[in-house]
Structure 1
Amino acid sequence: MSDSHAKLDDWLGNERVAKDHITAFPLAALAATLVREKDGDMVPPLWHWLYFLPITPMSEAGPDGHPKRGDFLPPVPLPRRMWAGGRLTFHAPLKVGEHATRTSTIANIEDKTGRSGRLVFVTVQHTIEAGGELKLEEEHDIVYRDASPADARPQQPQLAPQGESWSRTIDADPVMLFRYSALTFNSHRIHYDHPYATQVEAYPALVVHGPLIATLLLDLVHRERPDATLQSFAFKALRPTFAGQAFKVCGAPSADGKTIELWAKDHQGYLTMRATAGIE
């Protein structure tokens, strides 16, 4: 184990408790952004990401727009970070008017070397409670990585599956990305600062938020199976999606109707996110 890895492991078990009042405005604003009706006073699955937002002063913002590292999250010395995926178990929906508590714990830190250089994966466990009732359990995967060298060969993309039962085309333009960044207080510059995204992090355009794509996948389930109750959801981001290029969210329910395979594909048909939802 390297000294840097050992130091990162000092953050294992680090815990943070956040409290929030579940208010109606963020739900109405995201519903308007996704062009769907509100679910009464219920917080739809994954819309809990509109709450418990870390609010840090400008003096604590790093060069990428994120809060500086080394407080709750470990001080990983790599320039790029992305939301890599997650696993969630839904016990009961949050409701407008509730006072909720989220407890977050650094559960795992994994240091690897891949084709593009060093990678550090951090897993954060969250539990959300309200009124003495467990509402949600979540494992959130964050990946940190080196900037890609100029001569790096891009990884071969994977074609998305065929034969979806449901699909919806999404035009994630800069306005949608701005709204989602604002609603989640996400100041990561790759989502709204085109010169930074293209010139500093070398993306071809603004990057669509991984959590937004995951939310759109479950929004597809809601549109196609509004009677279903979500029990679990797992997703993994595989490839960036960029603004200005329409992409699709797709779904295919199992024969017994208890699970739904979900995926997103870009304008070229390449797989960008894969997910599975458990319903009843």
Structure 2
Amino acid sequence: MNEFDEWIGFERRASDVISPRLADHFRVTLDDVLPDGPDLPGIQWCLAPDACAPADLGRDGHPKTGMFLPKLPLPRRMWASGELLISGGFQVGDAVTRTSTISDIRFKKGRSGDLGFVTVDHRYEVGGEARISERQMIVYRDDPAPDAPAPVPPQAERWETVHAQEIETNPTLLFRYSALTFNGHRIHYDHPYATDVEGYAGLVVHGPLQATWMQNVATRVLGRAPRSFSYRGLSPLICGGKAIVEAREGENGLEIRVRNGEENFVTMQATAT
């Protein structure tokens, strides 16, 4: 037990409708990553975003902790990993209800210091029928020490790919995805904040955007929506240059990853079945 266990079970609901405008903006932002068809893989992360008054925003531009997410004693928040069970897709006109429940809070020490992990279960329903169940993990961490060297990710191993696609990352792409998701996190648009406060080498490409790329590649390669999709962040993808989204056949399903094209390290990986 810890002082934050009272948050476990905390639940909230939000609803949204997939409008033609939202679908069009999603398609042009994803450009040629989306496969053909009416479904919009990954649009669930654009639905019913948090909308708070400026007084309710934290220093990072996200809603303050202590509202839905607990206020852990660590200032930085980011996506860590997630698992999706997919029983249906989303299309224009769908009225989607998302129920989000905090299911676990844990602390541990990592190589970079103290870490807090909050697990949130999301259930996306249309007409009372579950389309996606997601277990998402959010990691909290401390600010980097000013003199701490930046970690150097390992070089990516060579893959025999069944699909590979290059995506140009630039501030316009980050702006458009932030607008789609009403994501005010300053690491995606405020260069001094991203580098001086959070210690990144530049603006950071959104974790949900990378996961969306991979979910769409999985749909394209499998020829259908995956039944399960699990993702995990490994390293920040810094804006500028090319990202490579690629897939290969693995022992436990299709393996997908996002690789930094210039420095050749993996920023996010996934498995789909």
Q: Normalising by structure 1, report the TM-score.
A: 0.90
Deviation at 1:50, TM superposition (A): 1.1
AA aligned to 1:46 is: G
Once the 2 structures are TM-superposed, how far is the Cα of residue 244 of structure 1 from its aligned partner? 0.9
Give the equivalent residue in structure 1 for 2:266. Answer: 271
- The reply on whether 1:219 has 2:216 as its aligned counterpart is yes
Give me the whole-angstrom Cα distance separating, in 1, the residues matched to 2:148 and 2:180. 35
From 228, 231, 234, the equivalent of 1:232 is 228
Is 2:85 aligned against 1:93?
no
Q: Distance in 2 between matches of 1:217 and 1:40?
A: 17
The 5 Å alignment of 1:138-217 reads 138-163=134-159, 164-217=161-214
Counterpart of 1:110 in structure 2 is 106
Task: Tell me, yes or no, if the aligned pair for 1:21 and 1:99 is still in contact at 8 Å.
Answer: yes
Instruction: Check conservation: 2:219, 2:225, Cα contact below 8 A.
Output: no
Structure 1 unaligned residues grouped into runs of 5+: none
Deviation at 1:112, TM superposition (A): 1.1
The alignment status of 1:119 with 2:115, answered yes or no, reads: yes
Question: SS at 1:84's partner residue?
Answer: strand
Q: How many residues were matched structurally?
A: 270
The Cα shift of 1:156 comes to 4.3
Report the Cα distance in structure 2 between the residues aligned to 1:9 and 1:124, rounded to whole angstroms. 13
CA RMSD for the aligned pairs?
Answer: 1.9
Structure 2: tracts of 5 or more residues without a match: none
CA offset at residue 153 of structure 1? Answer: 4.4
Counterparts of 2:237 and 2:102, CA distance in 1:
28
Contact 2:79 2:207 in 1 (8 A): yes
Alignment-mate amino acid for residue 123 of structure 2: T
Contact persistence 1:116–1:152 (CA under 8 A): no
**Offset, 1:253:** 2.4
Letter in 2 for 1:141: M
Q: Secondary structure at the match of 1:230?
A: coil
The runs of at least 4 consecutive aligned structure 1 residues that moved more than 4 Å come to 37-41
Q: Please report how far the alpha carbon of residue 24 of structure 1 lies from its aligned counterpart in structure 2 after TM superposition.
A: 2.1
Cα distance in 2 for residues equivalent to 1:84 and 1:64: 17
Q: Percent identity?
A: 43
Residue by residue over 1:68-107, the C-alpha shift from the partner in whole angstroms, topping out at 9 and shown as x without a partner, is: 1101110112121111110000011123223221111001
Output the TM-score relative to the length of structure 2: 0.92
Q: Kindly tell me: are residues 144 and 243 of structure 1, through their superposed partners in 2, closer, same or farther at Cα, counting changes over 3 Å?
A: same
Mapped partners of 2:120, 2:90: distance in 1: 20
